[in-house]
Amino acid sequence: MSEPRQRFWAPAVILVVLVVLWESLVTAFNIQQFLLPKPSAIAGNLVRVAALDPSISGEGEDISLENRFFTVLPAELSPETQASLEEARWLAFNLGGRRFFVLPGSNLTPILAASWFTLKEALGGMAMGTVAGIAVAVATTRWTATREALLPFAIAANSMPIIAFAPIMNNWFGIDNPFSKMAIVTIMIFFPIMINTVRGLVSVDARSLELMRSYAASDSEILIKLRIPNALPSLFSGLKVAGALAMIGAIVGEYFGGPRIALGVFITQEAALFRFASAWAAILVACLLGIAIYLVILLAERLALPWHPTFRA
Amino acid sequence: MPGPVVILENVDKIFGEGASDQVHALKEIDLRIEQNEFISLIGPSGCGKSTLLRVVGDLVQPTSGVAAINGKSARQARLDQDYGIVFQAATLYDWRTVAKNVQLPLELMQFSRSEKESRTQAMLELVELSDFAGHYPWQLSGGMQQRVAIARALSFEPSILLMDEPFGALDEMTRERLNLELLNIWRKTDTTVLFVTHSITEAVFLSTRVIVMSARPGRITADIAIDLPQPRNAETRSNVRFFELETTVREALRVSEAGEAPERKPA
Ligand SMILES: Nc1ncnc2c1ncn2[C@@H]1O[C@H](COP(=O)(O)OP(=O)(O)OP(=O)(O)O)[C@@H](O)[C@H]1O
Ligand SMILES: [Mg+2]
């Protein structure tokens, strides 16, 4: 296994190379922005940098409506522009005789608001789906008869394209009600959680079970002291799958209709208005949120399973 | 005067009965074990020693015959928590530290908190693993894991100890020390021990009786009383009688293995 440092740097370098390549190819071949916007145009929706260059003269224009990632302005700014820069900036610093301002991008506020709304749907659905999946898994293990009766349905249901229910959920709960998207997410992640948990609860080493039997342990004691700890690693594999599905479920659910504030609605509207850079920026944030959910699950796994082979030093 | 602790009458165990690959693991086993006996089972690999142990412990149902333990059915004895078992493999729970693994039976048997802690500490001292109380099983060697399993079985002073090659993975020095410790515990309590081993020396040194088994089908071919004086100690090993008994057991094993060949042929 490679050093953690190396594991971080290798993908980081590849990412930078890809972004630079993307930017230069789109520029070189003059590709239309509705086909593929430049990475800098996408980034400009989220964050911008303005540089005040003393060697340029003339009136500084107001940049508040532009979504360029990098703007060069004359050092002598009109008082209004100066004031708006100072007010909006996150960061200001001097470098090589120029003054740099780091500002929020032109679409940052609506994208963040939409992301927060959709993230809440995803997390709400994930919580409900996880609780339901674990509850059903434990019940089916506790009462074997239930498992034999239910498992065929679960497996059949697992191969259904659940996202196809999105319009129906929108109809049941109302398009603007976040619960309609939570319901989709719940159904989507219920099966991976349940099936992984059942697998972990059932695949108990025969000798470990005999040990419990030799102590005359009750079924509930076996469940709590053997089956549930034994199921935790596969529950976490299920959670990692579910984490990825949750954002997908919420956003795709919103493609079928939702309040204007939702991320899926934001993306469809921006695309419909040919504001592709801003649509791409929203997708980028959705990706980052998906990664963040995954990392949180990874961290929780590490804390919950300090004994697990994966974390053996 | 209580009756025998273990009575096996005409016990047969056939795995996969009726199938073409059925295994006649135990045949016509008759065995009586009195309270406070120390019985060793010895025999070639695959002759059914573990299976016999598991029939006594109610982990395997005999195909026919009766198993009575402490005057009740094997099942009732299990429900009464009469057994302490050490399996051939350590069988520790990965998610429990060494101390927590030793505590598992104590938790299930509702020992008080202070009792749990003092017993765990005493048992870990006994197997010399006090420094590893907070370690997880994967951080231990195979022999250390086996010692944890022994500590776990002894912790609640079961009335019957079933031990399946408990010292097989240990070095000679540790093995001899734990032999003496086991005898100590056995002497101090009313425990009856049923002990599987491949070592003739160990069987003779520890036991009051050595049971020799033959393979396919597994049968008892000899039952040798070990009349060495108690308590056993380092001097026991230099006793002339010790060597005579070793020879007797070795001879019985040879006869049982020689007698195995014709048994294998289908009738
Ligand atoms: N659960 C089982 N299902 C089918 N066959 C089994 C099972 N357990 C044991 N056997 C068979 O029964 C026979 C006796 O096995 P057992 O484990 O009792 O042998 P053993 O004397 O303990 O051997 P060893 O000294 O190698 O541990 C073997 O032939 C084995 O294949
Ligand atoms: Mg065995």
Distance from CA of A236 to the nearest CA of B (A): 15
The band of A226, judged by pLDDT with boundaries at 50, 70 and 90, is very high
Is the pLDDT confidence value at B265 over 70? no
Contact A210 B83 (CB under 8 A): no
Beta-strand runs (E) in B17-104: 23-33, 38-42, 64-69, 72-73, 83-86
CA distance A98 to A118: 40
> What pLDDT, on a 0 to 100 scale, did the predictor assign at position A60?
57
Nearest to A216 among B79, B91, B136 (CB): B79
B174-190: average pLDDT: 85
Contact A208 B95 (CB under 8 A): no
A7-22: average pLDDT: 89
Is the pLDDT confidence value at B261 over 80? no
A252-270: average pLDDT: 90
B230-240: average pLDDT: 86
> What pLDDT, on a 0 to 100 scale, did the predictor assign at position B242?
86
Buried b (16+ CB within 10 A) or exposed e, A223-246: bebbbbbbbbbbbbbbbbbbbbbb
Report percent pLDDT > 90 for chain A.
Answer: 40
Report percent pLDDT > 70 for chain B.
Answer: 96
The band of A76, judged by pLDDT with boundaries at 50, 70 and 90, is confident
The band of A35, judged by pLDDT with boundaries at 50, 70 and 90, is confident
A85-108: average pLDDT: 84
B216-221: average pLDDT: 88
> What pLDDT, on a 0 to 100 scale, did the predictor assign at position A104?
86
> What pLDDT, on a 0 to 100 scale, did the predictor assign at position A289?
93
Contacts of A309 in chain B (CB under 8 A): 94, 138
Nearest to B91 among A207, A232, A309 (CB): A207
Contacts of A212 in chain B (CB under 8 A): 108
Beta-strand runs (E) in chain A: 47-53, 70-74, 91-95, 98-104
pLDDT in tens, B129-176: 999 999 999 889 888 898 899 999 999 989 899 999 988 878 888 888
The band of A66, judged by pLDDT with boundaries at 50, 70 and 90, is low
A115-131: average pLDDT: 95
B228-256: average pLDDT: 87
Count of beta carbons in the 10 Å neighbourhood of residue A28: 8
Is the pLDDT confidence value at B259 over 70? no
Is the pLDDT confidence value at B266 over 90? no
Contacts of A207 in chain B (CB under 8 A): 87, 89, 91
Is the pLDDT confidence value at B267 over 50? no
- Ligand 1 atom with least separation from CA of B51: 18
Note the Cα B145 to chain centre separation in Å: 17
Contacts of B107 in chain A (CB under 8 A): 225
pTM: 0.82
| Domain residue ranges in chain A | 32-106, 109-311
Ligand nearest to the CA of B198: 1
Please check whether residue A5 touches B, CB under 8 A. no
Angle at B36 between CA B34 and CA B39, to 5 degrees: 75
The band of A1, judged by pLDDT with boundaries at 50, 70 and 90, is very low
pLDDT in tens, B79-99: 988 899 998 888 999 999 999
> What pLDDT, on a 0 to 100 scale, did the predictor assign at position A211?
94
Is the pLDDT confidence value at B264 over 60? no
Q: Say what the ipTM of the complex is.
A: 0.86
Whether residue B17 has its Cβ less than 6 Å from ligand 1? no
pLDDT in tens, B18-55: 888 888 888 888 999 998 899 999 999 888 999 999 99
Q: Whose CA is nearest to atom 1 of ligand 1?
A: B15
A129-150: average pLDDT: 84
Interface test with B, best of A214, A223, A236, A303 (most B CBs within 10 A): A214
- Name the residue in chain A with its Cα closest to that of B101: A225
Is the pLDDT confidence value at B57 over 80? yes
Whether residue B44 has its Cβ less than 6 Å from ligand 1? no
pLDDT in tens, B95-125: 999 999 999 999 999 899 999 999 999 999 9
Distance from CA of B157 to the nearest CA of A (A): 12
> What pLDDT, on a 0 to 100 scale, did the predictor assign at position B184?
85
Ligand nearest to the CA of B14: 1
Quote the mean pLDDT of chain A: 86
Nearest to B138 among A205, A221, A309 (CB): A309
Q: Whose CA is nearest to atom 6 of ligand 1?
A: B15
Is the pLDDT confidence value at B262 over 60? no
Whether residue B23 has its Cβ less than 6 Å from ligand 1? yes
> What pLDDT, on a 0 to 100 scale, did the predictor assign at position A288?
92
Contact B93 A208 (CB under 8 A): yes
* Coarse DSSP helix, strand, coil percentages of chain B, rounded to the nearest 5 percent: 40, 25, 35
Whether residue B70 has its Cβ less than 6 Å from ligand 1? no
Chain B residues in contact with chain A using a Cβ-Cβ cutoff of 8 Å: 54, 57-59, 78-81, 83-85, 87, 89, 91, 93-96, 104-105, 107-109, 136, 138
Tokens of A58: 């003339």
In A170-229, the residues whose Cβ lies within 8 Å of chain B are 205, 207-208, 210-217, 221, 225-226, 229
Distance from CA of B105 to the nearest CA of A (A): 7
Q: Which of A252, A225, A238, A214 is nearest to A301 (CA)?
A: A238
Note the Cα A55 to chain centre separation in Å: 44
> What pLDDT, on a 0 to 100 scale, did the predictor assign at position A115?
93
B204-221: average pLDDT: 90
Q: Whose CA is nearest to atom 22 of ligand 1?
A: B50
- Name the residue in chain B with its Cα closest to that of A228: B95
Pocket test for ligand 1, best of B14, B45, B49, B214 (most atoms within 8 A of CB): B49
Is the pLDDT confidence value at A234 over 90? yes
Note the Cα B254 to chain centre separation in Å: 22
Is the pLDDT confidence value at A162 over 90? no
CATH class of the domain comprising A109-311: mainly alpha
> What pLDDT, on a 0 to 100 scale, did the predictor assign at position B210?
94
Residue B50 Cα to ligand 2 midpoint, Å, equals 4
CA distance A85 to A102: 9
Q: Which uninterrupted H or E stretch holds B9?
A: strand B6-15
- Ligand 1 atom with least separation from CA of B49: 21
Whether residue B103 has its Cβ less than 6 Å from ligand 1? no
Is the pLDDT confidence value at B231 over 90? no
The band of A292, judged by pLDDT with boundaries at 50, 70 and 90, is very high
> What pLDDT, on a 0 to 100 scale, did the predictor assign at position A49?
87
